[in-house]
Every structure is written in structure tokens, then in C-alpha cells.
Structure 1
């Protein structure tokens, strides 16, 4: 392997957390990739990867080197794309919240790969704020009010916040009309840590106080519990869209919920974006902006 191929191998090992998986991605033999990384570590005089019989993880020096490698390879991809008249090519890394990524970003990626056969995509769907530069991400979909930053953010729509329950639950327990009515209802609450759900904030600073008897760190679980008639739950409209369309859930307190949450495609600014990023942004922005849930049509 030449030096650039070795850097690509190191990044692949870090991404896939294994030598064999990285070798398969790159189309080389595992011994070849092992020798290349060994030679790289010897050349640098540091251990980049901590190996055990079951796992491979980055050392502290490896984490720093990985960020530099991603920048070097991204710059190389950009230079090659520019030399090829701006044709999109190379690996593109995209992140989004887990459920939104599965439902709405993955179909866009699939169609984008069909349209751009020289691009490969790595997706990281995670319910946390992924740091683009540190984690080698090219494009992020953010569902939030964004703070000022050095990133370019393009709006693609907004998502309603809703309170939902099954028709059967509402028939048995009545429909809440005001925030005060929530006190007589039970609810399923979401908490990222599975322990501390956020207060049920409503419009005009009002708080709701339902009896929470189920806390989960998975919105799909809370929605399934609501469909099963266990109680009310809060979510973003896309998370319950299929059940709302099918009549398995209904929204309540619509006039009391907080305003919609904006959705943006975000990518690093400060230099001209590579052709693969520009192509994906243009493609994804058009597709996502047409989604009914992002247009407020559901």
C-alpha cells in the first residue's frame, strides 16, 4: 500500500472497528492491511490502534490522527473532483437523528446513490449531536433551533410537536381540552437517559402534569404504547405519522402545543464544499422539502 492507501485503511478500520471489515471494504487482504498499519505506527512512533482478541479501538494519539486523516482525504477528494470538472465522487458521510434517518434520510440516500454512481455514502443515525469535523461528517440533518456557528445551514421545513393518544384511550378516559386536563390522564414519557423526562411544556409557558407511569429512551416504544391504549405521549409529527394516517392515533391539545421545530441540512462552511456535498445537499433539500410532514400538511 502507498501512504494514501494506508491512511484510507486506517480510517476504514476506525469506522468499521475491525481489520477484516476494513479489508473487505477496500478490497485488500487482512494481512496486507495489518502490515500497512504496523508500518505506519512504526513510522510515527506511536500506537494508533489498541487491539484485543475481540475489539479494535483508537488510542488517544489515534483519535487525533484520525481527525487529521479525514481532513487530508477530504481535501484530496475535493481536489480530484475539481480536476474532474466538479464531478461528485468519493465517500460522503451523513448524520441524522435515528428514527428520522431511517424513515426519511435513508430513502434519499438510496436514490442519491442511484443518481451518483461514483459516490459512496456512510450514514450515522444517532440521537445525539454529532460533531461534524471531529467525527468526519460531511452533512448533518438537524431538528432543532440552531445556535450561531461556523456551519452553513439550509432550511428544509419544520416539524409539528404533537400530543397523541389512541381513539380507544380517548373514548375510555375523555379527551383533554386544556393543559389542566392532563392531570387526570396517564402518559408515556421520553427521556434520552431513560431516567429524567423533560417537563410537558406547552404554549405560553404552560406546563402539563399527566401521571407518567412509563419512561422510555425510545420514541418508537412510547408511540407503540400509545397505540396500545396505555396513555398520552408527546412526539414530533413524523414519529407518529403512519399511525395518525391509519387512525391508530389522534392528536389532542393542538392549539396548546409549542411551535414547530425547524429542520436544516448543515455542513461545514469556510471553504468551497466538495462536489459530492453540493450534489447531495441539492438532491436532499428538494426531496425533503416535499415531504408532507416537513410542509405541515399532516
Structure 2
């Protein structure tokens, strides 16, 4: 994960370079062939576009330049740096290890420039502009907070992407993301939103047919509605059992909603976030099992790129979401 900048996608699946970056490049075939040195920021913008599009020709089409012009511009940058940024073949263009490191730095530089421009443009007025946010696929926890934010800040446009997969805030072009788990990228900032328990649940009808498990060993004899992590492909481990004692999975999916539905329909026992089954528990459609063994808490974190120039629209989003959700615990024992 890392910092990103706002991008659109073109015909070839590559990001269309922002108009401001196209102006920074400020290059023509003529001055390329004459060997005129590009300004540093323009060179950075050109390099990032080539890395994202995957070829000189695709970059040339996006910018209205020849493939040769783009290639020579990158070659001059490599000469100035004294390092090869791309491995080239007749059909393939790939970043070297040095190119990968340089790309991350370059994107942070462009993001800082964009943030500074927006901060100056937004000073003195209400926060505005677009925010691209990655949220967990199950949206039930955030709907009310998002709706309240839209009402409070109508000039801010939200682009919400729901996914449980790991995202790279740099290369995927997000302004912020909400995720659980440990923070692996030290370049990100974070604030805690809320915590929740996971509960073992089943329907009264299912328990009437199969009995209520008294301990972890008894779970081995029950039908299991399992969750597979998108990032790793591994099944979620249930409480009370080590991996060697895990029962053979029954139905496996990566959808919270589907497992809630099947549990209500009496198809088995599910291990689900407490906030996802609050209504079903209150209505008596589901019953929680072995509560004394499911007390572990998991936190949701709001992550965003570290920056000296945080755009006002992102700053107010962070503060608003924290205010709405902070210190809440879903599934707390009465």
C-alpha cells in the first residue's frame, strides 16, 4: 500500500494521464530529437505514464507523440540517473528493480504536487473535489456514515469501491481505504474506526434438527458455512480449534451476505461479524453459539497516504468517519 494520485483508464487499460501532467511533460517530437533536456517534473510524469501504460507506443498514443520520442525521453532519463529503469524486448516492457523503487518515489512526488495545488485551490472555500475510497465488500457498517457525510459535504464527490482484496493505494489510485489487520506499509497513516466480534451463529430450525454444540469438538459434526480470504485463498479459522482440528468445509464463499442468508435458511453454522447479523439476532432468526469463546476483537482502520499537504476534502472525510464510528464495539456482551 502507498500513496496514489487520481487517474482515469483509457482504451488500452492504461491510466489516461491527467491534463496537468500532460502540460508538465510539454514535449514534442522536434525537441526530443534535438536532445533538449526535459524539466525534471515533466520527466517524472512521462516515466510514470510509461510505467502505467506498459509500452512506449501506448503512452505515445495517449499523449499524441511518436513511440520513438517517448522511448528516447526515457533513455535520457536513464542516462541522467545512471540506472536502467525498464527491461526492453520487442514485445515486452517491464520495470527493473531500480525502476520499481523509482516509480514509487515519482508517484509520491506527483501526489504532493497535486495535493499542494488542490490545497491552494480549495483554501477559503468549502472542501470539494473527488475522493476515491476503498471499503470492505460488506457495506452495512458504513452506509449511515457515508450518507451523513454526503449530506454534510455536498461539494465532495465520492467514488466508492467495495472489495475485500488487498489494495495498493499508490497503483490503484485510492485516496484512502478501510481495512482490518496489521499495517504493513509504514508510508501510510491510520486511525482506528471501530471494533467488532465475530460470532458463531445458526438458525433455531437448524439447531432443532442437529442439536446445539456444547464445545469446539462438537462443531466438527456440524455443517459449516465457510469464508475464503480473497487475498490468500485460505479459509477463515474458527475459534476453539487449531488448524489440524478444523472440520472439513461445507459451502465456501467470499460473501458475508450469502452466508447470513444460508445460516437463516438453516443450512449450517457460520462464523460472521457481529454487525452483519445484528438484525437477524434481534429478530430471533439466528442464535449465537459458544459466546464465551468468541470474545476476540477486530478493528477497522482508515488508511491514507502520509503527506505534508493533505487535501481538505480528505481531511474532513477522515475526521467525519472517525467521529461517526470511533469507540463503537459491535457484538459486545451485555
CA offsets per residue over residues 183-221 of structure 1, 9 Å max, x none?
221111111469965263425858754453222232222
Query: TM-score, with normalisation over the residues of structure 1?
Result: 0.71
**Structure 1 pair 39/92, CA: closer, same or farther in 2 (3 Å)?**
closer
Which runs of at least 4 in structure 1 moved beyond 6 Å after TM superposition? 67-71
Which residue number in structure 2 is paired with residue 56 of structure 1?
none
| 2:252 counterpart SS class | strand
Determine if the alignment matches structure 1 residue 12 to structure 2 residue 8.
Answer: yes
Indicate conservation of the 8 Å contact 1:187/1:232, yes or no: yes
**Structure 1 pair 199/230, CA: closer, same or farther in 2 (3 Å)?**
same
RMSD: 3.9
Which residue number in structure 1 is paired with residue 289 of structure 2?
252
Indicate conservation of the 8 Å contact 1:197/1:215, yes or no: no
**Structure 1 pair 111/175, CA: closer, same or farther in 2 (3 Å)?**
same
1:146: Cα distance to partner? Answer: 3.0
Which residue number in structure 1 is paired with residue 132 of structure 2?
93
Determine if the alignment matches structure 1 residue 217 to structure 2 residue 254.
Answer: yes
| 1:160 counterpart SS class | strand
Distance 1:213 1:206 in 2: 16
Greater gyration radius = 2
Which residue number in structure 2 is paired with residue 82 of structure 1?
120
Which residue number in structure 2 is paired with residue 120 of structure 1?
157
Indicate conservation of the 8 Å contact 2:165/2:231, yes or no: no
Query: TM-score, with normalisation over the residues of structure 2?
Result: 0.64
Determine if the alignment matches structure 1 residue 159 to structure 2 residue 155.
Answer: no
Which residue number in structure 1 is paired with residue 46 of structure 2?
none
**Structure 1 pair 282/13, CA: closer, same or farther in 2 (3 Å)?**
same
1:166: Cα distance to partner? Answer: 0.5
Distance 2:231 2:116 in 1: 42
**Structure 1 pair 96/208, CA: closer, same or farther in 2 (3 Å)?**
farther
- Runs of 5+ consecutive residues of structure 2 not aligned to the other structure: 16-59, 72-92, 96-101
1:132: Cα distance to partner? Answer: 1.0
Distance 1:262 1:228 in 2: 29
Which residue number in structure 2 is paired with residue 178 of structure 1?
215
Match of 1:133 among 164, 170, 174: 170
Query: Which residues of 2 match residues 282-297 of structure 1 at below 5 A?
Result: 282-289=319-326, 293=330, 296=332
- Runs of 5+ consecutive residues of structure 1 not aligned to the other structure: 1-6, 20-36, 48-58
**Structure 1 pair 193/261, CA: closer, same or farther in 2 (3 Å)?**
closer
**Structure 1 pair 18/245, CA: closer, same or farther in 2 (3 Å)?**
farther
Distance 2:118 2:236 in 1: 51
| Number of aligned residue pairs | 260
Q: Compare the two structures and name the one with the higher helix fraction.
A: 1
Match of 2:266 among 209, 229, 236: 229
Which residue number in structure 1 is paired with residue 315 of structure 2?
278
Which residue number in structure 2 is paired with residue 146 of structure 1?
183
| 1:233 counterpart SS class | strand
| 1:225 counterpart SS class | helix
